[in-house]
Structure 1
Amino acid sequence: MKFRPCIDLHDGVVKQIVGSTLCDTNPQAVQTNFVAEKSPSWFAELYRSDNLTGGHIIKLGPGNDAAAEEALGAWPGGMQLGGGITADNAGTWLDKGASHVIVTSYVFRDGMIDIDRMNKLVKAVGRNRLVLDLSCRKRDGLYYIVTDRWQKFTSVAISPEVLTDLAGYCDEFLIHAADVEGKCSGIEVPLVEKLAQWTPIATTYAGGIRDRADLQLIDEAGSGRLDFTVGSALDIFGGKTLTYRDTVDFRRSAEEEKHV
Protein backbone atom coordinates (compact mmCIF):
# COMPACT_ATOMS: atom_id res chain seq x y z
CA MET A 1 0.00 0.00 0.00
CA LYS A 2 1.65 3.17 -1.21
CA PHE A 3 0.83 6.86 -0.95
CA ARG A 4 0.53 8.25 -4.49
CA PRO A 5 0.57 12.06 -4.22
CA CYS A 6 -1.21 14.37 -6.64
CA ILE A 7 -0.90 17.72 -8.35
CA ASP A 8 -4.28 18.77 -9.76
CA LEU A 9 -4.06 21.69 -12.18
CA HIS A 10 -6.98 23.97 -13.02
CA ASP A 11 -6.54 27.23 -14.95
CA GLY A 12 -2.78 26.81 -14.64
CA VAL A 13 -2.77 26.68 -10.83
CA VAL A 14 -2.56 23.85 -8.29
CA LYS A 15 -6.05 23.42 -6.84
CA GLN A 16 -8.21 20.99 -4.95
CA ILE A 17 -11.79 20.90 -6.20
CA VAL A 18 -14.93 18.85 -5.68
CA GLY A 19 -14.77 16.61 -8.73
CA SER A 20 -18.51 16.15 -9.14
CA THR A 21 -18.99 19.92 -9.59
CA LEU A 22 -16.90 20.16 -12.78
CA CYS A 23 -19.13 21.36 -15.61
CA ASP A 24 -17.94 22.45 -19.05
CA THR A 25 -21.22 24.25 -19.78
CA ASN A 26 -21.12 26.16 -16.47
CA PRO A 27 -17.50 26.69 -15.37
CA GLN A 28 -18.63 28.88 -12.47
CA ALA A 29 -20.31 25.87 -10.86
CA VAL A 30 -17.03 24.27 -9.85
CA GLN A 31 -16.54 24.13 -6.09
CA THR A 32 -12.95 24.89 -5.13
CA ASN A 33 -11.57 23.68 -1.81
CA PHE A 34 -8.08 25.13 -2.18
CA VAL A 35 -5.99 27.34 -4.47
CA ALA A 36 -2.24 27.06 -3.95
CA GLU A 37 0.07 30.01 -3.65
CA LYS A 38 3.02 27.68 -4.16
CA SER A 39 4.08 26.60 -7.64
CA PRO A 40 3.50 23.19 -9.25
CA SER A 41 7.25 22.56 -9.05
CA TRP A 42 7.20 23.14 -5.27
CA PHE A 43 4.81 20.21 -4.83
CA ALA A 44 6.79 17.99 -7.21
CA GLU A 45 10.01 18.78 -5.35
CA LEU A 46 8.33 17.95 -2.03
CA TYR A 47 7.22 14.56 -3.32
CA ARG A 48 10.66 13.97 -4.77
CA SER A 49 12.29 14.67 -1.41
CA ASP A 50 10.20 11.85 0.10
CA ASN A 51 10.66 9.56 -2.93
CA LEU A 52 6.90 9.23 -3.45
CA THR A 53 7.05 7.73 -6.91
CA GLY A 54 3.97 7.00 -9.00
CA GLY A 55 1.96 10.08 -8.10
CA HIS A 56 0.00 11.94 -10.75
CA ILE A 57 -0.34 15.35 -12.32
CA ILE A 58 -3.82 15.91 -13.75
CA LYS A 59 -4.69 18.73 -16.15
CA LEU A 60 -8.32 19.59 -15.47
CA GLY A 61 -9.20 21.34 -18.70
CA PRO A 62 -7.23 23.74 -20.93
CA GLY A 63 -4.57 26.22 -19.87
CA ASN A 64 -2.50 23.79 -17.84
CA ASP A 65 0.29 22.69 -20.16
CA ALA A 66 2.93 25.10 -18.88
CA ALA A 67 2.15 24.25 -15.25
CA ALA A 68 2.34 20.53 -16.04
CA GLU A 69 5.69 20.95 -17.78
CA GLU A 70 7.00 22.85 -14.76
CA ALA A 71 6.02 20.05 -12.38
CA LEU A 72 7.46 17.35 -14.63
CA GLY A 73 10.67 19.33 -14.97
CA ALA A 74 11.07 19.36 -11.19
CA TRP A 75 11.04 15.56 -11.08
CA PRO A 76 11.68 13.93 -14.47
CA GLY A 77 10.41 10.36 -14.46
CA GLY A 78 8.87 10.70 -11.01
CA MET A 79 5.21 11.39 -11.78
CA GLN A 80 2.47 10.36 -14.17
CA LEU A 81 0.57 12.86 -16.35
CA GLY A 82 -3.09 12.87 -17.34
CA GLY A 83 -5.61 15.18 -18.94
CA GLY A 84 -6.32 15.40 -22.66
CA ILE A 85 -3.98 12.54 -23.53
CA THR A 86 -4.30 10.97 -26.98
CA ALA A 87 -2.17 8.63 -29.07
CA ASP A 88 -0.86 11.69 -30.91
CA ASN A 89 0.44 13.61 -27.87
CA ALA A 90 1.20 10.82 -25.38
CA GLY A 91 4.79 10.40 -26.51
CA THR A 92 5.42 14.12 -26.19
CA TRP A 93 4.46 14.08 -22.52
CA LEU A 94 6.72 11.11 -21.88
CA ASP A 95 9.52 13.08 -23.51
CA LYS A 96 8.73 15.99 -21.19
CA GLY A 97 9.37 13.79 -18.16
CA ALA A 98 6.19 11.85 -17.35
CA SER A 99 6.84 8.29 -16.19
CA HIS A 100 3.43 7.24 -17.57
CA VAL A 101 0.52 8.88 -19.33
CA ILE A 102 -2.98 8.55 -17.84
CA VAL A 103 -5.91 8.13 -20.22
CA THR A 104 -9.69 7.89 -19.99
CA SER A 105 -11.80 9.88 -22.42
CA TYR A 106 -9.72 9.10 -25.50
CA VAL A 107 -10.35 5.35 -25.27
CA PHE A 108 -14.13 5.69 -24.98
CA ARG A 109 -16.49 6.53 -27.83
CA ASP A 110 -20.27 6.67 -27.60
CA GLY A 111 -20.05 5.29 -24.08
CA MET A 112 -18.12 2.17 -25.05
CA ILE A 113 -14.46 1.16 -25.04
CA ASP A 114 -12.80 1.92 -28.37
CA ILE A 115 -10.36 -0.95 -28.86
CA ASP A 116 -8.86 0.61 -31.98
CA ARG A 117 -7.86 3.71 -30.03
CA MET A 118 -6.61 1.54 -27.18
CA ASN A 119 -4.37 -0.38 -29.54
CA LYS A 120 -3.17 2.86 -31.11
CA LEU A 121 -2.15 4.16 -27.68
CA VAL A 122 -0.34 0.97 -26.76
CA LYS A 123 1.50 1.07 -30.08
CA ALA A 124 2.45 4.72 -29.50
CA VAL A 125 3.87 4.46 -25.96
CA GLY A 126 3.84 0.81 -24.89
CA ARG A 127 1.65 -0.92 -22.34
CA ASN A 128 4.20 -0.35 -19.56
CA ARG A 129 3.93 3.45 -19.87
CA LEU A 130 0.14 3.60 -19.86
CA VAL A 131 -2.26 4.10 -16.92
CA LEU A 132 -6.00 3.80 -17.48
CA ASP A 133 -8.12 6.15 -15.38
CA LEU A 134 -11.31 4.23 -14.68
CA SER A 135 -12.83 6.79 -12.33
CA CYS A 136 -16.44 5.99 -11.68
CA ARG A 137 -19.78 7.07 -10.22
CA LYS A 138 -22.47 4.89 -8.71
CA ARG A 139 -25.76 4.36 -10.52
CA ASP A 140 -28.32 1.61 -9.97
CA GLY A 141 -25.95 -0.18 -7.62
CA LEU A 142 -23.08 -0.35 -10.13
CA TYR A 143 -19.95 1.76 -10.53
CA TYR A 144 -19.93 3.14 -14.07
CA ILE A 145 -16.77 4.56 -15.60
CA VAL A 146 -17.15 8.30 -16.26
CA THR A 147 -15.26 10.44 -18.76
CA ASP A 148 -14.72 14.11 -19.65
CA ARG A 149 -13.69 15.21 -16.16
CA TRP A 150 -16.26 12.84 -14.62
CA GLN A 151 -19.23 14.50 -16.34
CA LYS A 152 -20.28 11.75 -18.76
CA PHE A 153 -21.40 8.25 -17.81
CA THR A 154 -20.20 5.48 -20.08
CA SER A 155 -22.06 2.21 -20.54
CA VAL A 156 -19.20 0.31 -18.91
CA ALA A 157 -19.43 -0.67 -15.24
CA ILE A 158 -16.48 -1.80 -13.14
CA SER A 159 -16.47 -5.60 -13.01
CA PRO A 160 -13.96 -8.47 -12.78
CA GLU A 161 -14.25 -9.04 -16.52
CA VAL A 162 -13.73 -5.39 -17.45
CA LEU A 163 -10.70 -5.02 -15.18
CA THR A 164 -9.15 -8.23 -16.45
CA ASP A 165 -9.66 -7.25 -20.09
CA LEU A 166 -8.32 -3.70 -19.67
CA ALA A 167 -5.33 -4.85 -17.64
CA GLY A 168 -3.95 -6.32 -20.85
CA TYR A 169 -3.52 -2.82 -22.26
CA CYS A 170 -1.92 -0.93 -19.37
CA ASP A 171 0.52 -0.95 -16.48
CA GLU A 172 -1.82 0.40 -13.77
CA PHE A 173 -5.32 1.62 -13.01
CA LEU A 174 -6.17 4.95 -11.37
CA ILE A 175 -9.71 5.02 -9.99
CA HIS A 176 -11.37 8.03 -8.37
CA ALA A 177 -14.68 7.50 -6.61
CA ALA A 178 -16.01 10.64 -8.28
CA ASP A 179 -19.15 10.92 -6.14
CA VAL A 180 -17.05 11.57 -3.02
CA GLU A 181 -13.95 13.11 -4.62
CA GLY A 182 -12.91 16.32 -2.84
CA LYS A 183 -15.62 16.09 -0.18
CA CYS A 184 -13.52 14.64 2.67
CA SER A 185 -16.64 12.75 3.69
CA GLY A 186 -15.22 9.24 3.90
CA ILE A 187 -14.19 6.66 1.35
CA GLU A 188 -16.41 4.54 -0.90
CA VAL A 189 -15.88 1.29 1.01
CA PRO A 190 -17.83 -1.04 -1.34
CA LEU A 191 -15.74 0.17 -4.28
CA VAL A 192 -12.50 -0.34 -2.36
CA GLU A 193 -13.56 -3.89 -1.51
CA LYS A 194 -14.50 -4.69 -5.10
CA LEU A 195 -11.28 -3.29 -6.52
CA ALA A 196 -9.19 -5.28 -4.07
CA GLN A 197 -11.01 -8.46 -5.06
CA TRP A 198 -11.08 -7.86 -8.80
CA THR A 199 -8.03 -5.93 -10.01
CA PRO A 200 -5.19 -8.00 -11.47
CA ILE A 201 -2.68 -5.10 -11.63
CA ALA A 202 -1.46 -2.18 -9.51
CA THR A 203 -4.42 0.09 -8.71
CA THR A 204 -4.65 3.46 -6.99
CA TYR A 205 -7.85 4.50 -5.22
CA ALA A 206 -8.81 8.14 -4.65
CA GLY A 207 -11.87 9.84 -3.22
CA GLY A 208 -13.29 10.95 0.11
CA ILE A 209 -10.25 10.35 2.34
CA ARG A 210 -10.51 12.58 5.39
CA ASP A 211 -8.14 11.26 8.08
CA ARG A 212 -5.74 8.55 9.16
CA ALA A 213 -8.64 6.25 10.05
CA ASP A 214 -9.68 6.28 6.38
CA LEU A 215 -6.15 5.29 5.37
CA GLN A 216 -6.37 2.36 7.76
CA LEU A 217 -9.79 1.47 6.35
CA ILE A 218 -8.43 1.41 2.80
CA ASP A 219 -5.63 -0.86 3.98
CA GLU A 220 -8.09 -3.22 5.68
CA ALA A 221 -10.98 -3.15 3.19
CA GLY A 222 -8.51 -3.29 0.33
CA SER A 223 -6.53 -6.17 1.87
CA GLY A 224 -3.37 -4.10 1.46
CA ARG A 225 -3.63 -4.45 -2.34
CA LEU A 226 -4.55 -0.86 -3.24
CA ASP A 227 -2.46 2.28 -3.26
CA PHE A 228 -4.13 5.58 -2.39
CA THR A 229 -4.22 9.25 -3.31
CA VAL A 230 -5.42 11.95 -0.93
CA GLY A 231 -5.89 15.62 -1.73
CA SER A 232 -8.23 18.06 0.00
CA ALA A 233 -7.80 16.61 3.50
CA LEU A 234 -4.03 17.23 3.51
CA ASP A 235 -2.59 20.25 5.28
CA ILE A 236 -0.50 21.13 2.21
CA PHE A 237 -3.81 21.64 0.39
CA GLY A 238 -5.46 23.58 3.20
CA GLY A 239 -6.93 20.53 4.92
CA LYS A 240 -7.41 20.32 8.68
CA THR A 241 -7.74 16.59 9.33
CA LEU A 242 -4.61 14.96 7.90
CA THR A 243 -1.02 16.14 7.66
CA TYR A 244 1.21 15.37 4.73
CA ARG A 245 3.91 14.10 7.09
CA ASP A 246 1.53 11.70 8.86
CA THR A 247 0.43 10.37 5.48
CA VAL A 248 4.01 9.75 4.38
CA ASP A 249 4.72 8.04 7.71
CA PHE A 250 1.58 5.88 7.39
CA ARG A 251 2.69 4.72 3.98
CA ARG A 252 6.13 3.84 5.26
CA SER A 253 4.79 1.94 8.27
CA ALA A 254 2.40 0.02 6.00
CA GLU A 255 5.29 -0.92 3.73
CA GLU A 256 7.41 -2.03 6.69
CA GLU A 257 4.60 -4.22 8.06
CA LYS A 258 4.19 -5.78 4.62
CA HIS A 259 7.81 -6.92 4.65
CA VAL A 260 7.88 -8.21 8.23
Structure 2
Amino acid sequence: MTRFRPCIDLHEGKVKQIVGSTLTDDGAGLRTNFVSEQPAEYFSALYRRDGLKGGHLIKLGPGEDNDEAARAALTAYPGGLQIGGGITLENAAVWLIAGASHVIITSYLFDERGRFRPDRLQSLIAEVGAERLVIDLSCRRERDGWVVAMNRWTQPTDLWLNAANLRALSGACAEILVHAADIEGQQNGIDEELVQNLGAYAPMPVTYAGGANSLADLARVDVLSQGRVDLTIGSALDIFGGEGVRYADCVAWNQTDEGGHAG
Protein backbone atom coordinates (compact mmCIF):
# COMPACT_ATOMS: atom_id res chain seq x y z
CA MET A 1 0.00 0.00 0.00
CA THR A 2 1.20 3.49 -0.84
CA ARG A 3 1.88 5.53 2.28
CA PHE A 4 1.95 9.25 2.88
CA ARG A 5 5.47 10.37 3.78
CA PRO A 6 5.94 13.72 5.51
CA CYS A 7 8.68 16.24 4.80
CA ILE A 8 10.46 19.25 6.26
CA ASP A 9 12.32 21.49 3.80
CA LEU A 10 14.78 23.93 5.35
CA HIS A 11 16.02 27.10 3.65
CA GLU A 12 18.06 29.66 5.58
CA GLY A 13 17.01 27.94 8.80
CA LYS A 14 13.27 28.23 8.18
CA VAL A 15 10.69 25.66 7.11
CA LYS A 16 9.65 26.53 3.56
CA GLN A 17 7.93 25.12 0.51
CA ILE A 18 9.82 26.13 -2.63
CA VAL A 19 9.15 25.61 -6.33
CA GLY A 20 11.99 23.19 -7.02
CA SER A 21 12.79 24.35 -10.55
CA THR A 22 13.56 27.88 -9.25
CA LEU A 23 16.14 26.78 -6.69
CA THR A 24 19.53 28.08 -7.87
CA ASP A 25 22.91 28.77 -6.28
CA ASP A 26 22.54 32.56 -6.38
CA GLY A 27 18.90 32.59 -5.25
CA ALA A 28 17.79 34.71 -8.20
CA GLY A 29 14.22 33.98 -9.26
CA LEU A 30 13.47 31.81 -6.24
CA ARG A 31 9.74 31.18 -5.88
CA THR A 32 8.52 30.33 -2.39
CA ASN A 33 5.05 28.94 -1.75
CA PHE A 34 5.21 29.05 2.03
CA VAL A 35 7.38 30.18 4.94
CA SER A 36 6.39 28.80 8.33
CA GLU A 37 6.27 30.80 11.51
CA GLN A 38 6.86 27.51 13.33
CA PRO A 39 10.36 26.05 13.78
CA ALA A 40 11.42 22.75 12.26
CA GLU A 41 11.00 20.87 15.53
CA TYR A 42 7.30 21.77 15.61
CA PHE A 43 6.73 19.68 12.49
CA SER A 44 8.93 16.77 13.55
CA ALA A 45 7.10 16.65 16.89
CA LEU A 46 3.81 16.63 14.98
CA TYR A 47 4.96 13.69 12.85
CA ARG A 48 6.15 11.87 15.96
CA ARG A 49 2.78 12.38 17.66
CA ASP A 50 0.97 10.95 14.64
CA GLY A 51 3.29 8.00 14.15
CA LEU A 52 4.56 9.07 10.74
CA LYS A 53 7.92 7.52 9.93
CA GLY A 54 10.29 7.78 6.99
CA GLY A 55 9.81 11.47 6.34
CA HIS A 56 12.64 13.41 4.76
CA LEU A 57 14.29 16.47 6.28
CA ILE A 58 16.09 18.36 3.52
CA LYS A 59 18.55 21.20 3.98
CA LEU A 60 18.17 23.33 0.86
CA GLY A 61 21.56 24.97 0.88
CA PRO A 62 24.45 25.17 3.35
CA GLY A 63 24.71 27.28 6.47
CA GLU A 64 24.69 27.02 10.24
CA ASP A 65 21.06 28.18 10.37
CA ASN A 66 19.98 25.11 8.40
CA ASP A 67 22.22 22.83 10.46
CA GLU A 68 20.84 24.13 13.75
CA ALA A 69 17.25 23.78 12.57
CA ALA A 70 17.96 20.24 11.35
CA ARG A 71 19.52 19.22 14.66
CA ALA A 72 16.52 20.58 16.56
CA ALA A 73 14.12 18.64 14.34
CA LEU A 74 16.04 15.40 14.81
CA THR A 75 16.17 15.88 18.56
CA ALA A 76 12.38 16.25 18.62
CA TYR A 77 11.92 12.99 16.68
CA PRO A 78 14.98 10.75 17.03
CA GLY A 79 14.97 7.91 14.54
CA GLY A 80 11.90 9.22 12.77
CA LEU A 81 13.35 11.29 9.95
CA GLN A 82 15.84 10.87 7.12
CA ILE A 83 18.16 13.81 6.45
CA GLY A 84 19.55 15.10 3.17
CA GLY A 85 21.32 18.14 1.82
CA GLY A 86 25.10 18.37 1.86
CA ILE A 87 25.62 14.83 3.14
CA THR A 88 29.16 13.52 2.54
CA LEU A 89 31.43 10.76 3.75
CA GLU A 90 32.78 13.16 6.37
CA ASN A 91 29.45 14.03 8.00
CA ALA A 92 27.12 11.09 7.29
CA ALA A 93 27.79 9.33 10.59
CA VAL A 94 27.51 12.64 12.47
CA TRP A 95 23.93 13.12 11.29
CA LEU A 96 23.02 9.55 12.21
CA ILE A 97 24.38 10.14 15.70
CA ALA A 98 22.32 13.36 15.81
CA GLY A 99 19.17 11.26 15.44
CA ALA A 100 18.52 10.70 11.73
CA SER A 101 17.25 7.25 10.80
CA HIS A 102 19.01 7.44 7.41
CA VAL A 103 21.16 9.84 5.45
CA ILE A 104 20.04 10.87 1.98
CA ILE A 105 22.86 11.03 -0.55
CA THR A 106 22.67 13.18 -3.66
CA SER A 107 25.42 15.38 -5.07
CA TYR A 108 28.23 13.60 -3.22
CA LEU A 109 27.77 10.60 -5.51
CA PHE A 110 28.91 12.67 -8.50
CA ASP A 111 32.02 14.66 -9.39
CA GLU A 112 31.91 18.33 -10.35
CA ARG A 113 31.11 17.42 -13.96
CA GLY A 114 28.15 15.27 -12.96
CA ARG A 115 29.80 11.90 -13.50
CA PHE A 116 28.60 9.11 -11.20
CA ARG A 117 31.24 7.94 -8.70
CA PRO A 118 30.55 4.35 -7.55
CA ASP A 119 33.68 4.51 -5.39
CA ARG A 120 32.11 7.24 -3.26
CA LEU A 121 29.00 5.14 -2.81
CA GLN A 122 31.08 2.18 -1.68
CA SER A 123 32.92 4.40 0.80
CA LEU A 124 29.63 5.52 2.30
CA ILE A 125 28.41 1.94 2.56
CA ALA A 126 31.60 1.02 4.39
CA GLU A 127 31.15 4.00 6.74
CA VAL A 128 27.48 3.72 7.73
CA GLY A 129 26.04 0.64 5.99
CA ALA A 130 23.72 0.37 3.02
CA GLU A 131 20.80 -0.09 5.41
CA ARG A 132 21.24 3.52 6.62
CA LEU A 133 21.52 5.06 3.13
CA VAL A 134 18.81 6.59 0.97
CA ILE A 135 19.90 7.46 -2.55
CA ASP A 136 18.27 10.56 -3.97
CA LEU A 137 17.62 10.12 -7.69
CA SER A 138 15.65 13.33 -8.11
CA CYS A 139 15.42 13.97 -11.80
CA ARG A 140 14.41 16.14 -14.73
CA ARG A 141 12.51 14.91 -17.73
CA GLU A 142 14.40 14.73 -21.00
CA ARG A 143 13.24 13.58 -24.42
CA ASP A 144 14.55 10.06 -23.81
CA GLY A 145 13.51 9.71 -20.19
CA TRP A 146 14.60 11.14 -16.83
CA VAL A 147 18.12 12.23 -15.96
CA VAL A 148 19.25 12.54 -12.34
CA ALA A 149 20.03 16.14 -11.33
CA MET A 150 22.49 17.30 -8.66
CA ASN A 151 23.37 20.58 -6.91
CA ARG A 152 19.82 21.39 -5.82
CA TRP A 153 18.45 19.91 -9.05
CA THR A 154 20.25 22.50 -11.21
CA GLN A 155 22.89 20.31 -12.89
CA PRO A 156 22.17 17.18 -14.96
CA THR A 157 24.38 14.14 -14.40
CA ASP A 158 25.35 11.16 -16.52
CA LEU A 159 23.03 8.88 -14.54
CA TRP A 160 19.64 8.08 -16.04
CA LEU A 161 16.72 6.96 -13.96
CA ASN A 162 15.89 3.66 -15.65
CA ALA A 163 15.33 0.01 -14.86
CA ALA A 164 18.97 -1.00 -15.30
CA ASN A 165 20.32 1.64 -12.94
CA LEU A 166 17.64 0.94 -10.35
CA ARG A 167 18.61 -2.72 -10.38
CA ALA A 168 22.30 -1.83 -10.11
CA LEU A 169 21.67 0.29 -7.01
CA SER A 170 19.31 -2.15 -5.33
CA GLY A 171 21.86 -3.58 -2.92
CA ALA A 172 23.53 -0.27 -2.16
CA CYS A 173 20.79 1.44 -0.17
CA ALA A 174 17.67 0.98 1.90
CA GLU A 175 15.47 3.22 -0.23
CA ILE A 176 15.31 5.54 -3.22
CA LEU A 177 13.94 9.09 -3.02
CA VAL A 178 12.77 10.72 -6.26
CA HIS A 179 11.67 14.32 -6.63
CA ALA A 180 10.27 15.16 -10.04
CA ALA A 181 12.24 18.42 -10.06
CA ASP A 182 10.46 20.00 -13.04
CA ILE A 183 7.12 19.98 -11.24
CA GLU A 184 8.18 20.06 -7.58
CA GLY A 185 6.14 22.62 -5.66
CA GLN A 186 3.82 23.49 -8.54
CA GLN A 187 0.79 21.44 -7.39
CA ASN A 188 -0.17 20.66 -10.98
CA GLY A 189 -0.40 16.89 -10.57
CA ILE A 190 2.07 14.05 -10.24
CA ASP A 191 4.21 12.68 -13.06
CA GLU A 192 2.15 9.56 -13.62
CA GLU A 193 4.53 7.96 -16.11
CA LEU A 194 7.45 8.33 -13.72
CA VAL A 195 5.47 6.89 -10.82
CA GLN A 196 4.37 3.94 -12.93
CA ASN A 197 7.95 3.24 -14.03
CA LEU A 198 9.22 3.39 -10.46
CA GLY A 199 6.58 0.92 -9.36
CA ALA A 200 7.42 -1.43 -12.22
CA TYR A 201 11.21 -1.35 -12.08
CA ALA A 202 12.46 -0.39 -8.63
CA PRO A 203 13.49 -3.48 -6.62
CA MET A 204 13.71 -1.47 -3.37
CA PRO A 205 11.33 0.89 -1.52
CA VAL A 206 10.77 4.22 -3.27
CA THR A 207 9.32 7.54 -2.18
CA TYR A 208 8.14 9.94 -4.89
CA ALA A 209 7.61 13.70 -4.48
CA GLY A 210 6.44 16.31 -6.95
CA GLY A 211 3.18 17.90 -8.05
CA ALA A 212 0.73 16.26 -5.64
CA ASN A 213 -2.32 18.48 -5.13
CA SER A 214 -5.08 16.31 -3.63
CA LEU A 215 -5.70 13.37 -1.36
CA ALA A 216 -6.71 11.43 -4.45
CA ASP A 217 -3.05 11.45 -5.50
CA LEU A 218 -2.34 8.90 -2.76
CA ALA A 219 -4.86 6.54 -4.31
CA ARG A 220 -3.55 7.31 -7.80
CA VAL A 221 0.05 6.52 -6.84
CA ASP A 222 -1.16 3.34 -5.11
CA VAL A 223 -2.79 2.17 -8.36
CA LEU A 224 -0.03 3.30 -10.73
CA SER A 225 2.76 1.73 -8.67
CA GLN A 226 0.80 -1.29 -7.44
CA GLY A 227 1.33 0.02 -3.93
CA ARG A 228 5.12 -0.07 -4.22
CA VAL A 229 5.80 3.69 -4.19
CA ASP A 230 5.11 6.06 -1.30
CA LEU A 231 4.11 9.69 -1.82
CA THR A 232 5.30 12.91 -0.23
CA ILE A 233 2.89 15.84 -0.30
CA GLY A 234 4.33 19.27 0.47
CA SER A 235 2.99 22.57 -0.83
CA ALA A 236 -0.62 21.35 -1.10
CA LEU A 237 -0.81 20.44 2.62
CA ASP A 238 -2.75 22.73 4.91
CA ILE A 239 0.09 22.70 7.48
CA PHE A 240 2.26 24.30 4.79
CA GLY A 241 -0.31 26.88 3.75
CA GLY A 242 -1.88 24.71 1.05
CA GLU A 243 -5.56 24.29 0.30
CA GLY A 244 -5.62 20.98 -1.56
CA VAL A 245 -4.89 18.42 1.15
CA ARG A 246 -5.66 18.19 4.86
CA TYR A 247 -2.78 16.80 6.89
CA ALA A 248 -5.28 14.97 9.11
CA ASP A 249 -6.61 13.11 6.08
CA CYS A 250 -3.10 11.94 5.18
CA VAL A 251 -2.59 10.62 8.70
CA ALA A 252 -5.91 8.80 8.45
CA TRP A 253 -4.91 7.34 5.06
CA ASN A 254 -1.85 5.74 6.62
CA GLN A 255 -3.88 4.27 9.44
CA THR A 256 -6.50 2.54 7.31
CA ASP A 257 -6.50 1.61 3.65
CA GLU A 258 -9.58 1.73 1.41
CA GLY A 259 -10.35 -1.88 2.16
CA GLY A 260 -10.59 -1.13 5.85
CA HIS A 261 -7.48 -3.06 6.85
CA ALA A 262 -5.06 -1.57 9.33
CA GLY A 263 -2.07 -0.01 7.59
TM-score calculated relative to the size of structure 1: 0.96
Cα distance change on mapping 1:255 and 1:150 into 2, 3 Å: farther
Alignment partners' CA distance in 1, 2:237 and 2:39:
17
Is 1:210 matched up with 2:176? no
Q: Give the superposition deviation at 1:222.
A: 1.2
Is 1:164 matched up with 2:167? yes
Match of 1:188 in 2: 191
Alignment partners' CA distance in 2, 1:196 and 1:238:
30
Q: Give the superposition deviation at 1:140.
A: 1.0
Paired residues of 1:202 and 1:226 also in contact (CA < 8 A): yes
Q: Which amino acid aligns with 1:66?
A: E
> Which of 75, 80, 83 matches 2:82?
80
Q: Give the superposition deviation at 1:255.
A: 8.2
Match of 1:28 in 2: 28
Q: Give the superposition deviation at 1:66.
A: 0.2
Paired residues of 2:3 and 2:218 also in contact (CA < 8 A): no
Match of 2:92 in 1: 90
Paired residues of 1:2 and 1:255 also in contact (CA < 8 A): no
Judge which range, 149-158 or 89-98, deviates more: 149-158
**Residues 14-39 of structure 1: CA distance to partner in whole angstroms, max 9, x if unpaired?**
000000000113x1311000000011
Indicate the percent of aligned positions where both proteins have the same amino acid.
50
Paired residues of 2:82 and 2:100 also in contact (CA < 8 A): yes
Q: Give the superposition deviation at 1:141.
A: 3.2
Residue 146 of structure 2 aligns to a residue in which SS?
A: strand
Q: Give the superposition deviation at 1:256.
A: 6.4
Alignment partners' CA distance in 2, 1:176 and 1:254:
24
Paired residues of 2:3 and 2:253 also in contact (CA < 8 A): no
Q: Give the superposition deviation at 1:258.
A: 6.4
Alignment partners' CA distance in 2, 1:132 and 1:257:
33
> Which of 176, 182, 186 matches 2:179?
176
Q: Which amino acid aligns with 2:75?
A: G
Q: Which runs of 5+ in 2 are unaligned?
A: none
Q: Which amino acid aligns with 2:198?
A: L
C-alpha RMSD of matched pairs (Å): 1.4
Residue 240 of structure 1 aligns to a residue in which SS?
A: coil
Cα distance change on mapping 1:132 and 1:258 into 2, 3 Å: farther
Match of 2:116 in 1: 113
Cα distance change on mapping 1:86 and 1:258 into 2, 3 Å: farther
Q: Which runs of 5+ in 1 are unaligned?
A: none
> Which segments of structure 1 move beyond 4 Å, counting only runs of 4 or more?
255-260
Alignment partners' CA distance in 1, 2:213 and 2:6:
15
Q: Give the superposition deviation at 1:111.
A: 2.3
Match of 2:69 in 1: 67
Cα distance change on mapping 1:188 and 1:182 into 2, 3 Å: same
Cα distance change on mapping 1:258 and 1:204 into 2, 3 Å: farther
Residue 82 of structure 2 aligns to a residue in which SS?
A: strand
Match of 2:4 in 1: 3
Cα distance change on mapping 1:249 and 1:156 into 2, 3 Å: same
Is 1:222 matched up with 2:220? no
**Residues 38-80 of structure 1: CA distance to partner in whole angstroms, max 9, x if unpaired?**
1111000000001101101000002210000000000111100
Q: Which amino acid aligns with 1:85?
A: I
Q: Which amino acid aligns with 1:16?
A: Q
